[in-house]
Structure 1
Amino acid sequence: MAWQPSPESLSTLAACLKDSLSGFDKAAQKQAEIMLTQAKSSPDINNYLVYLFSSQEPPSGLQCSPEDYFLIRSSAAIMLKNNIKTSSKEVSDSSLALIKMGIPMCLQDKNAQIRNYAGVIATEMIRRGGIMSWPELLPELLKMIGNESGQVTDEAQEGATAAMAKICEDNFKMLERELNGERPLNFILPKLIQATKSPLPKVRAHALTAINVFTARKSQAMLNSIDDLLQHLFALATDSSNDVRRQVCRAFAQLVESRPDKIQPHLPGLVDYIITQQQSDDEDLATDAAEFWLTVGEHEHLWHSLSPYIGKIIPVLLDCMVYSAEDIALLGGASDDEDEEDLEKDIKPQFAKKQSARQANKDGSADSAQNGNAYEKLASMDDDLEEGEIDDFDDGDDASPDERWTLRKCSAAALDVFARDFRDPVFESIMPYLNKNIRHTDWPYREAAVLAFGAVAEGCMNVVTPHLPQLVPYLISLLNDPEPVVRQITCWTLGRYSSWAADLTDPQQKQLYFEPMMEGILTKMLDSNKKVQEAGASAFANLEEKAGKKLEPYSLPIIQQFVRCFRKYKDRNMYILYDCVQTLAESIGPALAQENLVNELMPALIERWTKVSDQSRELFPLLECLSYVAMALNDAFTPYAQPIFVRCVNIIHQNLEASLALTNDPSIEAPDKDFLITSLDLLSAIIQALDPTMSAKLVQESQPAFFELLTFCMEDPTDEVRQSAYALLGDCAKYVFEQLQPSLPNIFPVLLKQLDLDNIIDEEIDNGFGVINNACWSAGEIAIRHKSNMAPYVPELFQRFVEIITNPGIPKGVTENAAIALGRLGLGNGDLLAPHLANFAEDFLISMDEVDPSDEKATAFRGFTAIVEKNPMAMEKSLLHFFTSIARYRDLKLRSETKNGLHEDFQKAIGIYRQIIPQFDQFLSQLQPQDQQTLRTTTYVRSRAD
């Protein structure tokens, strides 16, 4: 007998579902959420949910208004989707059968929102179970989309196409893979292209949306269909629907990346088309059109082809950079809001930076988290919300124009790209516009001119420089403009030109331009408008990066202004203030440790430290800021270290316990991993900064046990947590090895597992490499101190390191760190590795060829040379490479015992080969002449007369 719901249970569930979406009665909402959580344990819960969701009319006995029933159906859909997402393995076969019956019905519903929900659930079913978990779905959708029977309703066609678009977006890799000898996309793509001829605008738009998932990807299906697709795109270019033309613009932009050869012949016509669409009254369409310039301008070769059209394109970009009347209304005009508290939804989430330890051949400079990019594309979507779901905090189109990606920002970004592409001609083309508008009496034109001037800074600096002595003072005067939006963009533009001011060497010019610029931006950090404060702080962080150590003479007034900001700022701007402090610490380094500076800065930071709770997201930027400050202060950080260290350990402990509780009760909220990441990073910084005896004391006195917690973090499922944990492990090996040593028997099994390449999941391979990089580095740091005690772990470590350095798919920096760790294993373990020397010597030497001179490289070569001495005959095929490496070893800047010992080791190794090789000088003649000369002019190779 078919499953039937209990009327009483159905009514109770319906009431809870309705109340769970009620924004008026918070008590009822909370009670409903509790009851729904309890209902999840019922084996029939998903049956009830799909029954309510798929019933277009209220079931018999359920009394409610059409509006309330819509809420019930919506809430049922959301709960059903979440159940599939979080507990798909627990959904019974009978429930799955009901869901597969109900979803196609809902895709034909009269209500568009219900159809959207159905598409979301179908997508989640495929994502969790794979295509073969519901093999009938895609063929059924394609039949509905194509209206093969001629009897499919318009709503069904629209619902099926929207669902197909969602499935393509969330499962594109699955559709491209071979399945039972066929790739689903080979069948789906032609059907979608055909659907772009539908008489229904929404079907055409959804079909293009689905197709655009693949236009930037070079799949076989797209290769086969590209010419047919282009024909359809050109036919749709004049479509009456703005949504269709938006997707056409997106398709052309994505084809620039995947098939520029197909775009190139049509570029003249596309230029005119994109300009026309960019001038549309529909801002979404205009913005998508403007993104075409970004993709072409950033294409390695195609941008050259735009050269003849710059005169057409630039004026359109400039016109689109002026705030629209609607945007001006949303901005709300001038306001002094410095004393208003921030709403929680206004505070942008911050994400902890991944700690990467000693990445070989990487630029060590950190990008400022807040670069003040006026046209930065904001990504604020909640991953847990799909199209059609209800978000109580979604402001939709009412969001402020400086909080969302707009035509204005996109046009400014395109101008920036063109300035970097074409340089001087772009500035020459905007000069008339600047002359006309930069002093305009209407602030929107004045603001747009300042934005344009800032946008061309990077690409046009050479041609702009002669104008800066006149323009910079005027910009500084605009910092006092009555309109906050003008002050805001002026801060950003001055930040873009701060490198010019910072590089001035003439004292008089510095006094005329750099110091007023710095003072003006600093002053705006305490503007009466909070967004101007934010722009001032962003610009000053930018200036700090450009000026670097040149800020040292001004450190005290800068820090004094920061301290005033700590007293004044509300929550949102506190985040960027931390960035200013950490960028200053990074820029001037040890100069920050002067007593007067420490006495100004640290009390303000510690006051904030005591106010921020262990659960606040503000901890992330605060902990990160303190990491940079600790590294700059070194021993001067000692008075503040102990309570900060203890609190970081407690935060890690709390979050590990919360993660453990989550495994026992999946219904509780998961802890934010950024608490772990930033705490681990700050512990690393403190251990590096303090005198080793103080660091050792902090580690020794830690409760809970420090290395027990660290080992748990090394096993955390989140890559970023493990990456920071291994960075901390390496720092502990360097600075507190005596305290670490007793824990190594527990740590090494975890570390060895991490080095197994088979444990990296394909989709997360980039993050996985970051963890392996740090694991290699930490293993090497342990090896040079543990020496012969490493013996129990040498065989497996050796195997892992060789697998990494011989794998061509591993990033260069990771193979270099693995090679360094492999070499260091030879310190005290040469006997164990010598029998294998012939199998890894060449790969080791290749990996080390481009590693910059450092103590790490020196210790790696010392260990390698120790292995060579144990088995010199194994170097037969690699000996010339080894001698070349010795000849080209440059470490003039190194002043350490390691350096001296290395050159003695090189001398000893060459001496061994002089004894083994009868015609040694003749053997050396196989080297490059300059390498022979280097060896002969050093003490490495002496003539036989000596």
Structure 2
Amino acid sequence: MAWQPSPDSLKTLIGCLKNSHNGFDKVAQKEAEDMLGQAKTSPDFNKYLAMIFSSSVPPAEVSLSPTDYSMVRMAAGIMIKNAVKTSYALLSDITVAMIKAAVLMGLRDDNYSVRSYAGSIATEVIRRGGIYAWPELLEELLNMIGDVDGQTTPATQEAAISAMRKICEDNAKLLDREHNGQRPLNVILPKLIEASASQLPKVRAQALAALNEFIPRKSQAMLVNIDALLSQLFALASDTNNDVRREVCSAFVALVETRADKLTPHIAGLVDYIISQQKNEEDEDLACQAVKFWLSAGEHEDFWKNIGPYVTKIVPSLLDGMVYSAEDIALYGSASDDDEEEDQDKDIKPKFAGRKPKRNANSADPSSGTSQSNAAGSTYEKISEMDQDELEDGEIEDDFDIGDELGGFDDNDDMGWNVRKGSAAALDVLARDFGDVIFGCIMPYLTENLKHPDWPQREAAVLSLGAIAGGCMTAVTPHLPSLVPYLIALLDDPEPLVRQITCWTLARYSSWAIGLTDAAQIATYFVPMMEGLLTKMLDKNKKVQEAAASAMATLEDKAGVKLEPYAGPIIKQYVRCFEKYKDRNMFILYDCTQTLAEAIGPALAIPNLSDELMPALFKRYESVPDNSREMFPLFECLSYVVMALGSVFAPFAQPVFLRCVKIIHQSLELSLAAARNPQLDEPDKDFLVTSLDLISSIIQALAHDKASMLVAETQPGFFELLSFCLEDPMNEVRQSAYAVLGDCAKFVFPQLKPSLGTILPILLKQLNLDDILDEEIDSGFNVINNACWSVGEISIRHEDGMAPFTDELLKSCVEIMTNPCVPHGVIENAAIALGRLGLACPALLAPHLHTFAEDFLVAMDDINPSEEKATALLGFTLVVTQNPKAMETVLLHYFRTIATYEDIDLRSPVKQKLHDAFQHTISVYCQIVPQLKKFLEQLPAEQQAALQAQYRIF
């Protein structure tokens, strides 16, 4: 018998739902909420909710106004969605069936809110249960969208397409997978294309939005339907609805990346269309989407050539888009002096641990973020957060700070991505594509507007000059002797937004000033540029301060050691800024300080510099609470400063080290408490990351005895805390923890050694490639990279203790070296770790030499000479002497490695040990390979000569 509700229970529940939203009677509201909380424990609770939600009229025994009953249904819909979201797996089959039925009825309801909630519940069911938990839903939605029965109302069609769009957005990949011999996308795509021709504007727009989820995926279904889609896009290009045209522009942007060949025949009309849409002053979102087309087109390896004949049309449209709109001027223009005002919480963007962007003053692309660059490099080292300084090529980050490349010309971060930013970014990309041609297009505009009496025109001209720096430097350079002094003068413009953009543009041309070699030119251009930026760091407007500080950091990054003669004045100004800055700009000041430390390195340790900087930095350090997010940029800054100061940091080391340990301890305790009690929030792991990174810097910077003392005196035990970090579920924490572990092996091994019995088994587990999640693949490889680095550092110092772990380490390193999906830099670190393991356990590795010799040698080929490479080759050679016959297939490669190895800069005893080991191995092969000399004649003449010169082999 089908489930039936109790009339009394139904009536009571409706009353509770009504009263729970009764803001006029707090007592009744509280009682209703309590009763609902108790009712949730009933297995029938969600069945009642489904019945109420799907019933357009209340039960006969309930007397409610249409408005009140509508509110009751909304409350029921909210509770159903929350139940699906939090407890879907616990719902009974009957309950789920009733919810599904209620959704289908709700989509056809006359009440807009009910239809909206029905769509939300449907997408939540799919999100929690998967597409195939409700396969008939897609067909039902498509039927509603297409009005298959001829009786579907426009409202229901709109509700159905909205739900379908959300489902496509959440399940784009899954819909293209084969299931029971069919791919849902093969059916969905034609129906969505058909729906994009609907008489209803909302259905057209949402259908296109759903289609846009699949264009970037290059699926077979899209390949089959691409011509039909293109035909429909061209038909909709002149649609009267802005939302539709916005999705059309979005589709063209995506098609540039996936099927540019389909757009090429239509390029002339497409250029005119995009220009017309980006000039839409009524719809900023539409104009922004149109501008993105130029970004996409300009970055495509071939398609950009097709727009070459039209740049004289495109560039003026971009220049027009770079002028502040009247609305923006009203909101942000002519800002008053505000340097004495305290920052509001909303003004301070969250700062995340160790995410220092790599500045590129020759890039106006907002793609400043992070990448795992060293993971694919060719040097044997740990990856620290300080190393992660670029996005992968082609990535664009839409959300960026003012210190980022495009953020530097925006007066207010709240504006987000807009036509102005998009136009400047597009101009930068086109300048890189077409070079001096763009400067030819822009020169008349600059001549007319750089000194325009109206500041918005003047400001836009300065922005455009900065935007083309990356691609037009050759053409602009002859004009810089006159442009740079004018820009420096503009730093005193009465309009703050002009001063702000001028800072950014000067940073874009700082490489020119830095490259000057004539003393007179340096004094005329570089010094005034630097002094101007330093002066503006204490401008009366905080936004100008921020732009100047960001520009100064860029200049430091490019100038490097050339800044040493000017370090005194720079630090003096930074000290004034530490006294003056409010919280928001303090973050960028940390960036300036750490970039200076990175640029001039040990020169910062000169007493008159460090003695002035450190009191100001530590005054701020002592004022920041342990739980403040300001700790992230502060600790990151200190990490760079510590590395620059080296042993000069010793007087400050103990309190900083102990504070880091304290923060780590507190974070671990909070994590443990959250694991035990799900109601508690998980602590912010960035506190762990930045504390570990700063500890790493301190251990590297101090002399061995001082670092050892810090570690030994830590309470609770330092390596006990580190062990917990090595097993933290967050990749970034483990990455930093393994960096600390390797540093401890290098600098405080006697203190580490007693804990290795606990730590090495943890380290072994970390080398398992199968544990890397697809969605965290880059950070997962960073962890493995640092774990490999730690293995190598431990192995060369723990020769008497590595035997029990050798088999597992060998297996893991070989799996890493032979997996084609592993970044090259990680492979190199695994190879060096394995080679160094050979120093400890050559006899144990020798029987397995044939399994890793070739991969090891291939990895060694690309690694620059260093002590790490020398110790790895030494360990490998010791293994070879234990089993020389195992090298039969790679013997020529091995001798090539010996012949080409150079370490002229290496001064450690390892150099002689490696030479002696090579010599001994050669003598072994002379005995077991009768025709060795003839065999080696296969090598190039220069390699044969090197072997003769160094080892007297011929």
Question: Can you list the C-alpha shifts for 1:32-55, whole angstroms capped at 9, x where unaligned?
Answer: 999999987776675676667666
Counterpart of 1:361 (choices 352, 365, 377) is 377
What pairs with 1:288-327 in structure 2 (closer than 5 Å)? 288-327=289-328
- Tell me, in whole angstroms, the C-alpha distance in 2 between the residues paired with 1:322 and 1:655: 47
Q: How many residues of Structure 1 are paired with residues of Structure 2 in the alignment? A: 917
- Tell me, in whole angstroms, the C-alpha distance in 2 between the residues paired with 1:192 and 1:804: 44
Shift of 1:415: 0.3
Of 475-484 and 118-127, deviating more is 118-127
1:237 aligns with 237
What pairs with 1:740-751 in structure 2 (closer than 5 Å)? 740-751=752-763
1:481 aligns with 493
What pairs with 1:6-21 in structure 2 (closer than 5 Å)? 7-8=11-12, 11-12=15-16, 15-16=19-20
- 8 Å Cα contact 1:566/1:604 also seen in 2: yes
- Tell me, in whole angstroms, the C-alpha distance in 2 between the residues paired with 1:232 and 1:735: 66
1:696 aligns with 708
- 8 Å Cα contact 2:575/2:616 also seen in 1: yes
1:96 aligns with 96
Of 307-316 and 649-658, deviating more is 649-658
- 8 Å Cα contact 2:374/2:387 also seen in 1: no
1:914 aligns with 926
1:254 aligns with 254
CA 1:746–1:17: 2 relative to 1, 3 Å:
farther
1:679 aligns with 691
Check if 1:942 corresponds to 2:947.
no
1:842 aligns with 854
Counterpart of 1:2 (choices 1, 4, 22) is 4
What pairs with 1:526-565 in structure 2 (closer than 5 Å)? 526-565=538-577
CA 1:357–1:421: 2 relative to 1, 3 Å:
closer
What pairs with 1:535-934 in structure 2 (closer than 5 Å)? 535-934=547-946
- Tell me, in whole angstroms, the C-alpha distance in 1 between the residues paired with 2:908 and 2:657: 31
Shift of 1:157: 1.1
CA RMSD of aligned residues (A): 3.1
Q: What letter corresponds to residue 941 of structure 1 in structure 2?
A: R
CA 1:860–1:362: 2 relative to 1, 3 Å:
closer
- Structure 2, unpaired ranges of 5+: 357-371, 402-410
1:339 aligns with 340
SS at match of 2:799: helix
SS at match of 1:181: coil
SS at match of 1:851: coil
Of 514-523 and 555-564, deviating more is 555-564
2:280 aligns with 280
1:396 aligns with none
SS at match of 1:280: coil
- 8 Å Cα contact 2:193/2:229 also seen in 1: yes
SS at match of 2:135: coil
- 8 Å Cα contact 1:17/1:76 also seen in 2: no
- Tell me, in whole angstroms, the C-alpha distance in 2 between the residues paired with 1:736 and 1:107: 67
Check if 1:350 corresponds to 2:390.
no
- Tell me, in whole angstroms, the C-alpha distance in 1 between the residues paired with 2:249 and 2:827: 42
- 8 Å Cα contact 2:485/2:525 also seen in 1: yes
- Tell me, in whole angstroms, the C-alpha distance in 1 between the residues paired with 2:746 and 2:18: 61
Question: Can you list the C-alpha shifts for 1:655-712, whole angstroms capped at 9, x where unaligned?
Answer: 2222222223222222222111111111111111111212222222222222222222
- Tell me, in whole angstroms, the C-alpha distance in 2 between the residues paired with 1:63 and 1:744: 74
- 8 Å Cα contact 1:176/1:185 also seen in 2: yes
What pairs with 1:512-531 in structure 2 (closer than 5 Å)? 512-531=524-543
CA 1:162–1:932: 2 relative to 1, 3 Å:
same
2:188 aligns with 188
1:386 aligns with none
Check if 1:461 corresponds to 2:482.
no
Q: What letter corresponds to residue 554 of structure 1 in structure 2?
A: Y
- 8 Å Cα contact 1:910/1:941 also seen in 2: no
SS at match of 2:595: helix
- Tell me, in whole angstroms, the C-alpha distance in 2 between the residues paired with 1:292 and 1:304: 14
Question: Can you list the C-alpha shifts for 1:766-794, whole angstroms capped at 9, x where unaligned?
Answer: 22212111111111111111124111111
CA 1:100–1:808: 2 relative to 1, 3 Å:
same
Shift of 1:193: 1.1
CA 1:433–1:236: 2 relative to 1, 3 Å:
same
CA 1:3–1:743: 2 relative to 1, 3 Å:
farther
- Tell me, in whole angstroms, the C-alpha distance in 2 between the residues paired with 1:591 and 1:55: 77
Shift of 1:227: 1.3
- Tell me, in whole angstroms, the C-alpha distance in 2 between the residues paired with 1:78 and 1:469: 65
CA 1:755–1:70: 2 relative to 1, 3 Å:
farther
- Tell me, in whole angstroms, the C-alpha distance in 2 between the residues paired with 1:742 and 1:402: 53
SS at match of 1:482: coil
SS at match of 1:896: coil
SS at match of 1:534: helix
Check if 1:157 corresponds to 2:165.
no
- Tell me, in whole angstroms, the C-alpha distance in 2 between the residues paired with 1:752 and 1:187: 48
- Tell me, in whole angstroms, the C-alpha distance in 2 between the residues paired with 1:560 and 1:246: 51
1:377 aligns with 398
- 8 Å Cα contact 2:784/2:826 also seen in 1: yes
Q: What letter corresponds to residue 175 of structure 2 in structure 1?
A: L
Check if 1:204 corresponds to 2:215.
no
Shift of 1:536: 1.0
**Identity of matched residues, %:** 61
Shift of 1:88: 4.0
- 8 Å Cα contact 1:784/1:825 also seen in 2: yes
- Tell me, in whole angstroms, the C-alpha distance in 1 between the residues paired with 2:33 and 2:166: 28
CA 1:753–1:13: 2 relative to 1, 3 Å:
farther
1:393 aligns with none
Check if 1:175 corresponds to 2:179.
no
CA 1:742–1:182: 2 relative to 1, 3 Å:
farther
Shift of 1:448: 0.4
Shift of 1:95: 4.3
Shift of 1:922: 0.4
Q: What letter corresponds to residue 189 of structure 2 in structure 1?
A: L
SS at match of 2:337: coil
- 8 Å Cα contact 2:689/2:732 also seen in 1: yes
- Tell me, in whole angstroms, the C-alpha distance in 1 between the residues paired with 2:704 and 2:857: 34
What pairs with 1:505-516 in structure 2 (closer than 5 Å)? 505-516=517-528
Shift of 1:428: 1.2
CA 1:17–1:480: 2 relative to 1, 3 Å:
farther
- Tell me, in whole angstroms, the C-alpha distance in 2 between the residues paired with 1:227 and 1:527: 57
- 8 Å Cα contact 1:719/1:768 also seen in 2: yes
- 8 Å Cα contact 1:354/1:723 also seen in 2: no
Question: Can you list the C-alpha shifts for 1:619-662, whole angstroms capped at 9, x where unaligned?
Answer: 11111111111111111111112122122122222222222222
- 8 Å Cα contact 2:154/2:200 also seen in 1: yes
- 8 Å Cα contact 1:378/1:403 also seen in 2: no
- Tell me, in whole angstroms, the C-alpha distance in 1 between the residues paired with 2:841 and 2:336: 70
Tell me the TM-score normalized by structure 2: 0.90
1:408 aligns with 420
Of 805-814 and 78-87, deviating more is 78-87
CA 1:436–1:679: 2 relative to 1, 3 Å:
same
- 8 Å Cα contact 1:358/1:777 also seen in 2: no
CA 1:448–1:358: 2 relative to 1, 3 Å:
closer
Tell me the TM-score normalized by structure 1: 0.91
- Structure 1, unpaired ranges of 5+: 381-398
CA 1:758–1:470: 2 relative to 1, 3 Å:
same
Of 54-63 and 565-574, deviating more is 54-63
Shift of 1:491: 0.8
- 8 Å Cα contact 1:495/1:540 also seen in 2: yes
Q: What letter corresponds to residue 780 of structure 1 in structure 2?
A: G
- 8 Å Cα contact 2:642/2:701 also seen in 1: yes
